[in-house]
Amino acid sequence: MYNFEFEKPTTVAEAVAALSSDEAQALGGGQTLLPTMKQRLAMPEKLVSLTGIADMKGVSASGGTLTIGGGTPHKTVADEATAYPALAALASNIGDPAVRNRGTIGGSLANNDPSACYPSAALASGATIVTNAREIAADDFFQGMFTTALDEGEIITAVKFPIPEKANYQKFEQPASRFALVGVYVAKYAEGVRVAVTGASEEGVFRWTEAEAALSSNFAVSALEGLSVPADGMIGDLHGTSEYRAHLVGVLTKRAVTAAA
C-alpha cells in the first residue's frame, strides 16, 4: 500500500480536527480499509485512527434503547449486547474471530458495504446514527452501495437501537469472504415489523416493504406466502445470479420469522 501519515487522537474533537485536511480518512478497526489500501484501491494521505477514543467504545442499555459506541468492536457487541440478543448474535457471526476483535460497528456502517451485516440491523431496527455533528435516522443514512449521508470528515460516535419485541437475522454466508451472499434482518416492534435486506441489491441495503406490511398484520411465515422480490436490480455475480439472490430473500425472510417467533 502507499504510505500515509498516521494520527491517533484520543478525543472526538481532535479526530474531527485531524480529519479536516484534504485526503484524510478515518480508520476504524481497519478490517476493510486496510485490505482495500493493500490493493491500492484507496490511497489516503493521512489516516486518523479512531481506536484511541475511549468515549466511542462500549455498549449500554436504558429505557428500551441499546447504545453502542461507534468504535466498539464486533466481539464486544457479541458479548455485551445482551439486551438485544438478535443484534449480539449478528455481531458474533461477522467475519471471523480476529476480524471481530478489530472491526467496529461505526466502520461497518460508514463503509456501507452492500454485503455487510450491520447495515441490515440498523435499518431494520430503525436505529439512529449519532455523529460528532448530528443524529441521522437509518432510513436517511444508507444511500446506496458504499454511500451514506455522512459528510467528509464526519464521524459515527454512537448508534442507538430501539430494542424490538422480537428480531432475528439470517445470513446466507459467502464462505470465502464471510460476508452475506444475502442477509435478512426482521425486527418486530409494537408499531409494526421492519425487514431489511443486505447482500442482494445493487443499491445496497434496502427495506422489503411488502413483507413488512404482511408481517405487521400477521407475524407468521404464512403471511409471506406468494410474496417475492423481483430479480431486477439484484446483484448477479459468479457466486449467485440475481434470480438466486431474489429467491434467497424470500427464503431467509421466512427463516428469520420462524426463528424470531
Partner 1 sequence: MSQVTMTVNGKTATGDVEGRTLLVHFLRDELQLTGTHVGCDTSQCGACVVHVDGKAVKSCTMLAAEADGASVETIEAQAADDGTLNVVQQAFQDHHGLQCGFCTPGMVMSATALLKENPKPTEAEIRHYLEGNICRCTGYHNIVKSIMAASGQDVDSIAAEVAAQ
The least distance separating partner 1 from the CB of residue 5, rounded to whole angstroms, comes to 6
Of 39 and 222, which has the nearer Cβ to partner 1?
A: 39
What is the grid cell recorded at 110? 460508514
CB of 122 or CB of 155, closer to partner 1 = 155
**Shortest CB 179 distance to partner 1, Å:** 12
Choice between 111 and 125, CB closer to partner 1: 111
Question: Which of 103/126 has CB closer to partner 1?
Answer: 103
Q: Which is nearer to partner 1, 55 or 96 (CB)?
A: 96
Q: What's the closest the beta carbon of residue 247 comes to partner 1, in angstroms?
A: 25
Site residues (vs partner 1, CB under 8 A): 1-6, 8, 27, 30-31, 34-35, 37-39, 47, 49, 51, 75, 95-99, 101-102, 176-178
Nearer to partner 1, 102 or 166 (CB): 102
Q: What is the 3-state secondary structure of the chain?
A: CCCCEEECCCCHHHHHHHCCCCCEEEECCCCCHHHHHHCCCCCCCEEEECCCCHHHCCEEEECCEEEEECCCEHHHHHHHCCCCHHHHHHHCCCCCHHHHHHCEHHHHHHHCCCCCCHHHHHHHCCCEEEECCCEEEHHHHECCCCCECCCCCCCEEEEEEECCCEEEEEEEECCCCCCEEEEEEEEEECCEEEEEEECCECCCCEECHHHHHHHHHCCCHHHHCCCCCCCCCECCECCECHHHHHHHHHHHHHHHHHHHC
- Residue 1 CB, shortest distance to partner 1, in Å, is 5
**C-beta of 48: minimal distance to partner 1 in Å?**
11
**CB 221 to partner 1: min, Å:** 26
The rounded distance, in Å, linking the Cα atoms of 23 and 184 is 35
